[in-house]
Structure 1
Amino acid sequence: PRWGKVRLGRITRMDVDRWIAELSDDGASVRTKGGSLAPGTVEKIYQVFRKIIVAAYDEGRIARSPCPEHPPIPRKKRKVIRFLDEDQVVDLAGRIDGQYEAMIYIGAYGGFRIGELCALRVDDIDWTRGTIRVDEGLTDVGGLVAFEDPKTERAFRTVPMADLALEHLHTHLDARVDTDDARALLFTSPGGGILRPTNWRSRFFNPAVKAAKLEPLTPHDLRHTAASLFISAGANPWMLAEVLGHTDTRMIDRVYGHLFDKDREQLRQRMSDKARGATGNGEVIDLRERLNRPVT
C-alpha cells in the first residue's frame, strides 16, 4: 500500500497530488490491464483514503487534512471509437485464421464483449429464434482464467443475430465443434483449450486487422460495430441498451448518440408526411426549405 508505512501527520498536499497523478498516469505502478486507472476509479480510491484522513483530523490525531474534498484528477481524452461497415466486416473475417472467421461475424453482429465471446457455448444458441444467450463471461487476470456470471442483471441477455452471422457460425460448428456436447465452447484455442482474449488478440486479431489495412482496432471495436449496425437496422436507444447489456441508456447516448441523428431526421420526415397526408393535400413541402426561400 502506498501509505502503509507513512505517518498520517507527515502526509502533505503535495504527496497526495503526486499520488493521484501516479494513479492516473499510464506509467502508474497501480493500474488496470488496459493501462492507467479510469478517473472514476481514482476518485473512489481517493475518497476512501480521504475518509481515513478526515476521521484522523476529527479525532485530533493530525493538525490538518492534506486532502481537499475534490482531488485534481486529470480527465482522459475520449478515445476514438471505430466502427466497421458491413464490407469491412467481411474483409476482416476473410483475413483472420479460418478457425476464427465466424468469431468476427458473431462479434460484429452481436455486440458481445470479448470475454463473453470466449465463453459462448453450444446451448447458448437458439437456432429457431435466431438468438444467442449471454449468461457468463471469461476473465483473464494475472494469467488466471475463470468463467464468471455477468456483473449486472442486464448483462444476462439474449441477442438477436443476423442470418449471415448465424450461417457462418453453423459452418464453424459443423467443422470444428462437438455439437453433441451442449456445454462445448464455440471458440477455443488452436489446441482446443480455453481461448484467452489477450492471446487471441495478439496472435490472430491484430495480424488480420493489419492484413485488411484497417485503422488500428481492438476486439471491443467489434462491439461498437455491432452497435452501429443495430442502429442502422432501426434499434432505438432502449433496444440497443438491452442487446448490449447496459443498465440504462446513458452510455448509449454518450457513445452512440450521434449515430441516431439520421434516424431522428427520418422520423421527423415520416411524421411530416403522415400529417400532410391527413389534410388531403398530397404535396409535401419541407418547411425548412420554404423558410429559407428568399422573399419575392
Structure 2
Amino acid sequence: MGKRANGEGTISKRVKDGKVIGWRTAVTVGYDEKGQQIRRWISGKTQSEVTEALRKLKNDLADGRLVGRGDLTVGTYLDQWLEHVENKGLKPNTARSYRDAVRLYLKPHLGKLPLEKLRPTDVEGLISKLRRSGKSSALMGYALRVLKMALKQAVIWQLVPNNVAWGIKAPKKEDRDLHCWTEQQAARFLRLAKDHRLYAAFYLALATGMRRGEILGLRWRYIDWERQRLTIRNHLVENRLPGTEGKLHRGQPTVSAIQVTLQTPKTRKSRRVVILSPGTVARLREHQQRQQQEREILGPDWLDEDFVFANEFGGPTAPRTLYGWYRELVKEAGLPYLRFHDLRHTAASLMIQRGLSPKVVSDRLGHTDIAFTMRVYAHLYDEQREEAAFDLEEDATGPGDEET
C-alpha cells in the first residue's frame, strides 16, 4: 500500500470500556527535518463532526493555509531562526543585537505562544507592553523589525502562511536633539588634543565626519597623497562575546571577552572616497612621521599591519581605548560632553554652516540618500535658508542709483 498523500485521514472510533465515546482522525501536513510526518489530530463526539472538520482541514491544506507545526512555539522557532541567520555569516555584533532583542523582548512576551496561532493582535500587544515598561520608540521599532525578519523566514520555510507582523507599524521615533559643538568649541578641543599621539584621529573626525570605526580601520594604503583623498573600505568594531547564560551584571548580560575585528562597511554608500583639505593632509603627514619614530624604536617588535591609527605596537587601536582618551580630553577642556559619534554631527554642522550642499554633505558622511541627510539636519538647513532671504528693493538699488 502506497504512502498516503498529505491531507488524507482515516476516521476511527474512540472506544472506552467497550463503548464508543467519540471519533478521531489524523492529517499529515508535512515532514520535519528528519523526514518524520507532521500530523494534525481531529477529535469529535460524532463521526459527522469529525468528517466536517477533516474536510475543512483538507481545504486549508490545499489552499496553503495549513502549513504550521502545532507543537512549535514562537520562542523555539526564534531560537532556530537565530541559529540559521548566524550560520549564514551574520556579523557578530549584529548577531548579538538580534539575540538580545529575542531574549529580552520577544521571548518574554510571545515565546510561549504556538507559532501558528500568533496573530497581529499579539504583536500589537507586544508593542503596548514594551511601551508601558518605558522602552524607547527606537527599541520598540528594532524589536518589531527583528520579529518581522524572523517571521518572513517562517513563511519561506512554510511554517506559517503569512507574516502577521508585516502590517504592524513601528512607533514613531521621538525627535532627538542633535548635540554639536560650535566651531569655537571644536577648535578649543583640537588645541588641547594637539600633543596627543592620536591627535590626527580627532582632527579627521571633526574635519570629515568619519565614524570612529572607519577612522580606526583606515590603512595607509588607502590614502592617496597626490590627489588628497582617502578611501573607506573597512571599519574596526568590537565584538562582545557572550558570558555565562543568564548571568547579569548591573542588570546587563555579562561579557566573557571583547574581540576587535576589521569588517567591511554595511552599505555601499559607506564605502566611499573622502576628499581631504590641505590642513587634514598636513595633520596626517605629521602623524605618519610620529608613527615612523615609534616603529623605529620598536624595530622588529612592531606589528606592521598598516593601520594609520595603530596602537603603540603597530596593531589596531581598540575603539573603547580611543573613546577613553577622548573623554579625558573633553573633561580637561571643560567642554560640554558629546558622544564620540556626535563629532560626526559637529562635522556635518560645520559643513552646512560653510554652505556645502546636502548632496556633498550626504556623500562625505556616507548616508544612504540625501533625504536622510535633510531629515537629520533639517533645522540647520532651515537656518541657512533664513540667512539667504533678502529684499530686492533694498539690496538692488541704493541712493543715487539710476534704473537701467
TM-score, normalised relative to structure 1: 0.71
Q: Which amino acid aligns with 2:179?
A: R
CA distance in 2, matches of 1:246, 1:282: 49
- In structure 1, the residue matched to 2:53 is none
In the alignment, is residue 134 of structure 1 matched against residue 206 of structure 2? no
Unaligned runs of 5+ in 1: 29-34, 60-64, 284-296
Give yes or no for contact 1:106–1:166 (8 Å, CA) kept in 2. Answer: no
* SS of equivalent residue, structure 1 residue 98: coil
Structure number with the bigger relative contact order (C-alpha 8 A, sep ≥ 6) is 1
- In structure 1, the residue matched to 2:148 is 47
- In structure 2, the residue matched to 1:148 is 263
Match of 1:188 among 288, 310, 329: 310
In the alignment, is residue 227 of structure 1 matched against residue 348 of structure 2? yes
1:187 deviation in Å?
Answer: 0.8
User: Aligned pair in 2 of structure 1 residues 105, 48: CA closer, same or farther (>3 Å)?
Assistant: closer
- Tell which structure's C-alpha radius of gyration is larger: 2
Give yes or no for contact 1:114–1:197 (8 Å, CA) kept in 2. Answer: yes
Cα RMSD for the two superposed structures: 4.0
1:41 deviation in Å?
Answer: 2.5
CA distance in 2, matches of 1:218, 1:80: 13
- In structure 2, the residue matched to 1:173 is 288
* SS of equivalent residue, structure 1 residue 140: strand
Summarize the alignment of residues 25-64 of structure 1 with structure 2, pairs less than 5 Å apart: 38-48=139-149
- In structure 2, the residue matched to 1:62 is none
Match of 1:244 among 365, 380, 384: 365
- In structure 2, the residue matched to 1:6 is 112
- In structure 1, the residue matched to 2:174 is 77
CA distance in 1, matches of 2:373, 2:232: 19
Q: Which amino acid aligns with 2:267?
A: T
CA distance in 1, matches of 2:292, 2:151: 53
**Which deviates the most, 217-226 or 5-14?**
5-14
TM-score, normalised relative to structure 2: 0.54
**Which deviates the most, 12-21 or 167-176?**
12-21
Give yes or no for contact 1:24–1:74 (8 Å, CA) kept in 2. Answer: no
Give yes or no for contact 1:177–1:186 (8 Å, CA) kept in 2. Answer: no
* SS of equivalent residue, structure 2 residue 274: strand
CA distance in 1, matches of 2:321, 2:259: 13
Q: Which amino acid aligns with 1:6?
A: K
CA distance in 2, matches of 1:36, 1:190: 42
1:247 deviation in Å?
Answer: 2.2
1:196 deviation in Å?
Answer: 1.5
Match of 2:197 among 99, 103, 113: 99
Aligned length: 265
Higher strand share: 2
Give yes or no for contact 1:106–1:165 (8 Å, CA) kept in 2. Answer: yes
Q: Which amino acid aligns with 1:93?
A: L
Q: Which amino acid aligns with 1:189?
A: N
User: Aligned pair in 2 of structure 1 residues 49, 122: CA closer, same or farther (>3 Å)?
Assistant: closer
Match of 2:276 among 157, 161, 164: 161
- Sequence identity, in percent? 27
- In structure 2, the residue matched to 1:197 is 319
1:22 deviation in Å?
Answer: 7.6
Give yes or no for contact 1:122–1:183 (8 Å, CA) kept in 2. Answer: no
CA distance in 2, matches of 1:21, 1:112: 37
**1:255-282 deviation line (CA, Å, top 9, x unaligned):** 112212343345454x959x958xxx67
- In structure 1, the residue matched to 2:244 is none
- In structure 2, the residue matched to 1:214 is 335
